[in-house]
Amino acid sequence: MTGTGVGSWWRGAVMYQIYPRSFMDSNGDGIGDLKGIAAKLDHVKSLGVDGVWLSPFFKSPMRDFGYDVADYRDVDPMFGTLDDFRAVLKAAHDRNLKVIIDQVWSHTSSDHAWFQESRQDRTNAKADWYVWADPKPDGAPPNNWQAWFGGPTWTWEPRRRQYYLHNFLSTQPQLNFRNDTVRAAIIDVARFWLTLGVDGFRLDVANYYVHDAELRDNPPSGDPAPALPRNMQLHTYNSNQPETIEFVAKLRELMNAHGDNMSVAELAPGSYALMHDYTRTQGRLHTAYAFDFLGAWPGVEKAAEILRQWREGPDDGWPSWAFSNHDVTRVATRWAEAIGATPPRAAPLFMALLMCLRGTIFLYQGEELGLPDGDVPFEKLQDPWGIAGWPATKGRDGCRTPMPWKDEVMAGFTRAKEAWLPVDARQRLLAVEKQEKLAESMLHTTRKLIALRKANAALAAGGFEVVEAQGDLLVFDRVMGEERVRCVFNLGGAPATHRFAAKPELLWSADAIVASGQLVMEPRSAAIVRLVEPVRA
């Protein structure tokens, strides 16, 4: 539970995402592993979070760093063994931390035994386990679909004289969720991990499970300045098919039979309507998140619009929110630049905003330290997206650099002379060990904000009401019964004030004070205030 006594443990919880390659290396090979995760769970517990989300640690050729799975039921030797995972699970549960794991079901690695069989001919037992299609009469791909990492979604297989579908890398062939046997196989994978004791799943690109059966062309998007060909079309037919919801219902049925767990879908890029479709009623997913806050700072008015869309009835679904993860520039860099602040100045403001939102919160490793994005030169890049797109895009390596535990050459992450990605000297200065020793640090600020959220029923699970959203001032209330907590954020470069119609009790602030019945705020500041008397918003 989150300390509120309301709903299941995941409702309003704070989850901590661990990217295993970059968290902690226990054996000195420069790559993080499962034993390293187990060794650092006391740090995770000290934050006050409710659990962890582990990014993929399954057997994989690592062409997309684990999001190309070659065996859904085994651990890649780089990370350890299945027994090592069991040890992580026990260590987390001993600390009262839940564990959810990534499940990448939209596609497999081209190295997966299923695909190796499927690609041989059109008559084998797994011939229809992936999405295959004949070429057009002129030899062109079946349609105009564009992949996320650039180029068509179709690759030619000479053995079958057909194209296979891949929405991402060509080495990530798309499973055919229109095949009953495939859906049953995936449900069996879910059953395996639930039986092992995990507390739920984060479902990678869950809205890409099912494709349009007629393979119709996607319509143009009208994007005036597309960064990639994929942005030039609406992904109407290679994602978001209604049959996906049918599979989601079967998954929820299985999960309901395995205790109090959670499922959270990544919906890419997603929207409120899509998130609502995947989570409304008790027969779909527990929660979902989209990319609303994983891109550019949307501005105060747009942010309020995104947040106020969520209805609050018992069957209206439950949102999740993240500002950073393993796929995007860290928020301390991405949004700080947008509001004209430095990462150290902006990090407490963003953390306070995140912890005040209605929903389940996902915190990315290092976000509690206020880490900026790491600097990775071209010759050190690992991400295929970054390598292919350089210099227009630097890819995702900047958010995946090693976790800084100490201010030393390898940041306390590894005993190796080099880590799989370079250690950024700026991040070392924000190491856990250094911040622990400071009376005031981003690490301590994060703990205070998480503790406040867990201790206050309105913040953890209450309703959400926008009070003001104009200019640089975002103000909203979290409400449960007679408890009303006002959350005020000045995202601009000038001072601001906010007047209360009831007696305010300051619960937390960064560069803001209450004086004469009003909140006086420095530029880029935040405050969380209990309104002692009922007030009309």
Q: What angle do CA 76, 417, 333 make, to 5 degrees?
A: 80
The residue annotated as part of the active site, out of 76, 266, 292, 397, is 266
DSSP states along 410-465:
TTTT-SSSS-SSPPPHHHHTT-HHHHHHSSS-HHHHHHHHHHHHHH-HHHHH-EEE
Instruction: Kindly give the interhelix angle for 272-279 and 243-256, rounded to the nearest 10 degrees.
Output: 50
The answer to whether 42 is a known catalytic residue is: no
Q: How crowded is residue 138: how many other Cβ atoms within 10 Å of its Cβ?
A: 5
Separation between Cα atoms, residue 319 and residue 359, nearest integer Å: 5
Identify whether the C-beta of residue 40 lies closer than 8 Å to the C-beta of residue 4: no
Q: For residue 525, what are the β-bridge partners? A: 490
Q: What Cα–Cα distance (Å) separates residue 188 from each residue in 217, 225, 251, 254, 255? A: 33, 43, 10, 10, 12
CA distance 438 to 367: 17
Strands (E), 50-96: 51-54, 58-59, 71-75
Residue 42 makes CB contacts below 8 A (sequence gap 6+) with: 95
Strand partners, 287: 264
Q: Which residue has the tokens 């008397």?
A: 533
Q: Which residue has the tokens 């004949």?
A: 134
Using alpha carbons, select from 280, 211, 266 the residue that is nearest to residue 244: 211
The helix (H) or strand (E) run that includes residue 118 is helix 113-118
State which amino acid sits at residue 392: A
C-alpha of 226 from chain center? 24
- The whole-angstrom separation of Cα 418 and Cα 422 is 7
199 touches 188 (CB < 8 A): no
By the 8 A CB rule, do 89 and 95 touch?
A: no
DSSP, res 47: H
Q: Which of 204, 292, 368, 424 is catalytic?
A: 204
Tokens of 513: 């004070």
Q: Which residue has 């309507």 as its token pair?
A: 273
521/525 Cα distance (integer angstroms): 6
Element (H, E) at 18: strand 14-18
The answer to whether residue 214 is catalytic is: no
Catalogue the active-site residues: 204, 266
